[in-house]
Amino acid sequence: MRKHDIAISVAEEDTDVADLIAAELKNLNVRYYYYKEEKDNLGKHLINLTMDAYGKRTKYVLLITSRFFVNKYWSGIELQMALAQLPQGSVWQLRLDNTEVNGLPKHKVYLEWKDNPGEIAKVVKEKLTRRKRMVWERLLRICTMLGILGITVFLWYWIYNTCCRWRILKQEYVSVLATERPFKISNVEVTVAAYREYCMVTHKVFPEQPFQSVDSMPVRNVTWEEAKAYCEFVKGRLPSELEWTAAALAGKNTVYSGGTSAAAVAVYHKVKPANVGHKKPNALGIYDMSGNVAEWCEDWADSAHTLKVVKGGGYDSAVGELVVSNRRAERPEVRLRDVGFRVVKDN
C-alpha cells in the first residue's frame, strides 16, 4: 500500500532547498516523505527505510540533484531504488545545477531551481493530479468495457433463452400413421424450459437438473409418474412402446431413428445431452429418438408391473444402445440422469 504521494531525495548540503519545497507541499496537502521530518525511524535498518521510502511506499520520487548529490553514497542508493522499483516516468528531477546524474536521461530535466519553492510544489501537485486523473480515466475505461461486455453477455443469454423458449412454444406434433390407431407425437423431447413453466403454473416442485443443464436441453430426473402428469396437463399421454417404435422408424427400415449413421442422427458417448433438435431428424421430422436422452414409455416391461419400458438410448450410451429395437426397463419411481420423455396426442 502506498503511503506517500512523493518522496524527496536530496544531498545533505541541499536540504535548505528541500525544506522550502517540503513546506510548500505541506500547504498543498501533498503527502510526502522527507527523512528530516520522520520521527519513527529510530532503530530501523537504513537500507530497509530506503527501500520503503523510495519504492514500496511511495508513488513518485523527487530527486533534488546537484554536484553534491552525485557524490553522496546514499543519494546514489536512493536513485537506484527509485529507478528499480517505480514505473517509468515516476522519478522526477529538480536540477540545482548542470551536473549530470548517471541513470537519468540527459535530455529530460523536469524542473529547474530558480529560488521558486512555491512554483515547484505547484508543478508537483499538478503532476500528481494529472496522474491520478489518468488512473481514474483508465479505470473508468476498463469499467465501461467490462460493463459493455457484461451487458453483451446478458443480452446474448437473454436472446438465446428467448429463442429457445420460442422454439419450445412452437414445437410441432407430427402425425404417425404406421399403427392401427393414428396418433401425433412431439417432434422434440420435453425441455427444461417447458417443464419448468409447467411446474410454475401447477405449483409443482421442479426436479433438480444435473450440472450444466440449460433451458433448451431435454428435461431429466423426471419420474414416470411426473412425465405422465405433464403429458395429461398438455392434453396428451406417454407413447406406447409400439407407437414409440413406429415414430422412430418413420416408415423406414433403419438401424437408428433417422438413418444408418449414429453420428448423424444421435447424441451419444457424451458427458451431457445437447439442445433438443441438435442432430438430423428422421423422415417424419422427429428429432433425438436415438440418443440425447432415453424416453419413458407407457408400457410395463414385466408381468409383475414393477418396471416401465425406456426407449432410445441416451447421451452417455454406447452405440449399440441407440438401435430402435433396443429397450430398457426402469422402476417408474426413480429419477434418472439420462431419461426424459416426449408427448403423444390422439388424432
Q: What is the pLDDT of residues 106-160, one digit of tens each?
A: 666 678 888 999 998 898 888 888 877 887 888 888 988 888 988 888 888 776 6
Whole-number Å distance between alpha carbons of 110 and 240? 88
Q: What is the mean pLDDT of residues 80-95?
A: 82
Q: What is the mean pLDDT of residues 189-199?
A: 96
Whole-number Å distance between alpha carbons of 187 and 212? 24
Are 164 and 216 spatial neighbours (Cβ–Cβ below 8 Å)?
yes
C-alpha cell at 261: 449413421
Whole-number Å distance between alpha carbons of 301 and 330? 8
Task: Delineate the domains of the chain, giving CATH numbers in brackets.
Answer: 4-138 (3.40.50.10140), 171-346 (3.90.1580.10)
Higher-pLDDT residue of 9 and 269 is 269
Provide the percentage of residues in the chain whose pLDDT is more than 90: 55
> Which residue type, as a one-letter code, is found at position 260?
T
What is the model's pLDDT at position 42?
A: 47
Phi, psi of 294 (to 5 degrees): -70, 165
How crowded is residue 93: how many other Cβ atoms within 10 Å of its Cβ?
Answer: 20
C-alpha cell at 287: 428429432
Backbone region of residue 296 per phi and psi (left: phi > 0; alpha: psi in -120 to 50; beta: other values): beta
Q: What is the mean pLDDT of residues 7-35?
A: 90
User: Which of the listed ranges 13-22, 40-49, 171-180, 287-296 does the model predict with the highest average pLDDT?
Assistant: 287-296
Confidence of residue 162 (pLDDT cuts 50, 70, 90): low
> Using CA of residue 207, residue 190, residue 250, residue 285, what is the dihedral sign?
negative
> Among 345, 321, 343, which Cα is nearest to 222's?
343
The bridge status of strand 91-95 relative to strand 58-65 is parallel
3-state helix, strand, coil in the chain (%, to 5): 40, 15, 45
pLDDT at 94 over 70: yes
What is the model's pLDDT at position 57?
A: 74
Residues whose CB is less than 8 angstroms from the CB of residue 100 and which lie 6 or more positions away in sequence, other chains included = 70, 106
Whole-number Å distance between alpha carbons of 202 and 214? 21
Q: Is the pTM of this model over 0.85?
A: no
> Among 251, 92, 271, which Cα is nearest to 174's?
251
> Among 236, 287, 298, which Cα is nearest to 265's?
287
What is the model's pLDDT at position 214?
A: 93
User: Which of the listed ranges 31-35, 37-41, 70-74, 291-295 does the model predict with the highest average pLDDT?
Assistant: 291-295
Confidence of residue 169 (pLDDT cuts 50, 70, 90): very low
pLDDT digits (tens, 9 = 90+) for 300-321: 999 999 999 999 999 999 999 9
